[in-house]
Each structure stands twice: as C-alpha cells, then as structure tokens.
Amino acid sequence: MSTRILGIDVGSFQICAVIAQHDENGIRVIGIGTEKTQGIKKGVITNIELASKSIKNALQEAQRVAGTQYEKVIVSLSGAYTKSVDSSGVVNVPNHEIGIREIERAMQMADHTANIPSEYEKLHVLPYNFKVDGQEHIEDPIGMNGTRLEVQTHIVTVQKSALSNLRKAISSAGIQIDNIVLSGYASAIATLTEDEKELGVVLIDMGGATCNMVIHSGNSIRYNEFLGVGSANITNDLSMALHTPLPKAEEIKINYGALINKSVDLIELPILGDESKTHEVSLDIISNVIYARAEETLMILAKILEDSGYKDLIGAGVVITGGMTKLEGLRDLASAIFDKMPVRIAKPKETEGLYEILREPANSCAIGLCMYGAGEFTSYEIDSEKRMRYHGEIISKPKNSFNKIFEEENVKEDINLRNKTFNPFEDEGVEIIGNEQKDLEQRVVKNELANIADISKQDKQPNIFTKFWQRLTQLF
C-alpha cells in the first residue's frame, strides 16, 4: 500500500511544496512547486491572507507536476515561534518487561511535569536518554527487563497564537494538516547521517530570511535556536552599498555570489532612484559586501553554539544546508569561525524522482517533511497532534475528503431509511392492508434491528438497491 505525502516548507523567502509517494520501497518525489513568500517576515506570519495565497499557489504547481492528489500533509514551523525545555519522567514496570505502553507512559509523565508557560503549547516531545533500573545510556529500552523506566526528553514548545495563525493560513488554502514539524528538525531528517547523529552534530539551515540551528546528539535533538538573518540580508546590503535597486542586487548576489573575489573587473549597475543612469562597480567590492554579512552571520551562530552548553557534545562538526550555501567559499569561512570544526555543506539525501531539483540544499526542509510523513523521525516521540510515534508503527491511511463526504452521505441515507415505514411494493402501486400490513411491518422492523446491530461491524454498506432486493427476498 502506498501513501502520497505533501510536505510544505513555509519559508520566509519561498514556499516549497513537495509531493512524494511512499511505499515499501521508500519514498519517491513526484511533484514539486515553489512560490515567492508573501505575508511572512523572518519566520513570523504578518498577513494570513497573503501567506495562504502563496501556499495555495505552491501547492497547485506541485499538483500539476505530480498529476495526482495527496493524502497526508506535513507542514514546517519556523523556529522563530519556539522555545525549548528539558523534562524527565519515571514510571514503574509492573510486568517487568518494557514495551511501547511503558515508554509512552514515561514520556507522558515527562510531558506532564514539564514547566511550560501558559501561552505556549508542546510541538514535539523527543526522548534523548533512557534509564532502566538506574542503568544509563540505554539506546532503546523496548523488550528489556526491569522494574523502573526513566526517560529524559527535549520538549519543543510553540506560541499558541503563532500555531493558530499557521493553521489558519494552511486551512484557508484548502489544506487539512496531519502534522506540524519544526523546520530545523525536518532539515536534520533530510541531511544528517546516522554516524553524525551518534557522534553529535550541529545542523544549520541558512535560508532566505532566517537561520535555524539544531544540535543532534545520540537519539534525538538536544537543542534548537533561531536567528532572523538570511541571504535576503545580503541582498539588502548590496542594494545599500552599491546604491542599486533590490531586484538588481538579488541578481548580482546570484551571479557573483562569492566570498572571495580578487577580480578588478567592473560591471555596470543602475542607480537607485534613477534607473536610466548607471555606474560601474568592481567585483572585489561586491565580494567584500557579501563576505562581511556572511562572516557576521556565522559569528553570531558560533556564539549561539558556545552559549548553548552543548558544544562539547559535538563530535561530527557542523552541517550547513539551505539556499545560502550557494555562496562560494562559505564552507571555508564557516570552518575558520567554528574553531576549525569539520564543516559539511549538505544536500538532501538521495531520493528517487525529480533528481536535479531535489538535490538543491534549499529544498532540504521540504524533503525532510515528506520523510517525516513516511516515518523517518526519531525512535520515539509525541508529535504535534499529541500522538505517540515510533519506528515500525502501523499508520492507517488517511481518508481523503471525498471518501469522508461519501461515508457521511451513506450514514444519512441509512438513518433516513430506518426512520420511514418500508413498503417494498409501493413503486408497483400495490397496497398492503390489515393483518398482512402488520405482519410485514413486524418482519421489516425485526430485520432493520438486526441490520442496525451489525452496522458497526461492517466496513461497507450495500447501496439502496441492494438493500431493497435483500428485504424483498426476505418476504417470500
């Protein structure tokens, strides 16, 4: 059985919608659509109507490419809205064998005891360490014997108002959400290797207007942070420094985006405010402007890592993804700023389908959302819908809106049939009177009661003509 998953990366610079088909062979991307973002600034929704329009346009493009509908929807949430806390929970194991039920109880206990501000709600409850009878560093306690299970969790919380605004924007685009995922978490799913997770790694998704950082160590995310700076800031810097319009500054960034360029070649640029006139600018000056902003951004991110208290857990270094990684020389600059730590520029993991488009670092989050929908999350978690998730779980196939409407109409039809007296001969103009009518009514009522008793056991109800034939045959 296959499921079609829609991943929507709600970025501040671009909305990216990806449709992937998931079956026993993995996931295969069958559609992708992008749209310039409106109504969202630095990860925060500022206009629900414009944001919804951007989301809808990206979805329609993805559907045109895929040529099919989706069945499950996973949406990203910017780290701008979030705060994180750690919490632990302890439970007894009465039957001395740890199963999914015991793990869920422990995680629910950690969830219950977490100190969460009233204006926030939980987005992810992610366990990063288990203890069984005091024994630490248990990777996976499932099936182990013990009398006491303890779990330590990293809980990502989000502002209630921000979450409500995101749901409204998505709903206004005609989309029903199945899960909301922290954007940095989704990017980590799409880019990090198992070895990097085990050794401890920093993932930084450097996008158009924001940078999202997560620290992954062992089984789960241990830390997440947000910086409201991205490649759009470079465009603004170029526009001001070179005194040229923003569209031209963006074009310069794309065409000449290098951190080090000693060329003295000159290019002509229109003058801001009077585009009929031009002036010449050296490529060396352009590189200096780009370098200054990139250096400042990376230095702030390095300070965030230093202040997090988790730097000692980082054994695999820094992984950078996102659209800003297109800047030539970014990797070398990052390595110098992050105290000579190993730095890797990451593309999404290889996936079947639209290969060339998928391998763009800017699409890491969207691909990660589809992978999350396919079950590639941490070993255990309580998700945005307060459901316990774990590897190997059986997820029922979501019903699309057509099936839901069809089933509701069948239920209404059954109720209407049962509320009226049934005369199998009324279409033939035959009237039944006296004892025959009474006897017929008793038999019909008896049969209807039997049908009502069985309705909850039946997956599919016969249509009205089948019911008529069945009831007609019972009379003779």
377-426: pLDDT as tens digits: 878 999 999 999 887 665 444 434 333 333 344 434 443 433 444 343 34
**pLDDT recorded at residue 434:** 43
Tell me: pLDDT of 438 over 70: no
Total Cβ atoms within 10 A of residue 458: 9
Angle CA(256)–CA(259)–CA(265) in degrees, nearest 5?
45
pLDDT number for residue 379: 85
Produce one character per residue of 394-406: b if its CB has 16 or more CB atoms within 10 Å, e if not. Answer: eeeebeeeeeeee
Q: How far is CA 352 from CA 28, 52, 227, 367, 372, in A?
A: 5, 29, 32, 11, 16
Dist CA 120 CA 156 (whole Å): 10
pLDDT digits (tens, 9 = 90+) for 305-364: 999 999 998 999 999 999 999 999 999 999 999 988 999 999 998 877 766 667 789 999
Whether 445 has a pLDDT exceeding 70, the answer reads no
Question: Do 261 and 281 contact (CB within 8 A), yes or no?
Answer: no
| Alpha helices per DSSP H over 173-282 | 183-191, 194-199, 231-242, 246-256
Q: What is the pLDDT of residues 233-279, one digit of tens each?
A: 999 999 999 999 999 999 999 888 888 876 778 888 888 887 788 88
The pLDDT score that the predictor gives to residue 81 is: 87
**How does DSSP classify residue 204?**
E
Of 127, 364, 122, which Cα lies nearest the Cα of 222?
A: 127
Note the pLDDT of residue 171.
Answer: 95
Instruction: Dig out the tokens for 169 from the structure.
Output: 């924007």
Among the listed ranges 53-62, 93-102, 151-160, 453-462, which one has the minimum average pLDDT value?
A: 453-462
Spatial separation of the C-alpha atoms in residues 378 and 375, rounded to whole Å: 9
pLDDT digits (tens, 9 = 90+) for 123-143: 999 999 999 998 988 989 999
Residue 227 CA to residue 43 CA, distance in Å, equals 10
